[in-house]
Amino acid sequence: MRPRLPYLSLLAFSLALPAAAETIEIPLGQQGQTAIELPQRGQSQRSVLERFGLADEEHAAVGQPPITRWDYREFSVYFEYDHVVNSVLHHQPRYPTPKEQQ
């Protein structure tokens, strides 16, 4: 029978190593503009249209149930049938990219 000492020492060594990880937290106020009012979940397409006007781009429905996306300049709205399921702000870079500077 072979001694199990190497396995036990390997296990003890691996448990003794400290785990290193870094957690980065971004305060909520620094994640983007909070002054922009977005359509709320459950609103109808009609009420979004009345409040925010025509979208810059409307994407056709996809999937079942049908999900439609309306893109505005600063946000997108996702509809299931004709009610809002989510509104998402677009990423706004703080500094212009080299392409935008030209």
The per-residue pLDDT for 19 is 65
Pairing of strands 75-80, 57-62: unpaired
> pLDDT tens per residue, the chain (102 residues)?
555 666 666 666 666 656 677 887 766 555 555 578 899 999 999 999 999 999 999 999 999 999 999 999 999 999 999 999 999 998 877 776 666 555
The per-residue pLDDT for 25 is 75
**Euclidean distance between CA atoms 90 and 85, whole angstroms:** 16
**Euclidean distance between CA atoms 21 and 24, whole angstroms:** 10
The per-residue pLDDT for 35 is 73
The distance from CA 34 to its chain's CA centroid, rounded to whole angstroms, is 15
**Euclidean distance between CA atoms 86 and 95, whole angstroms:** 27
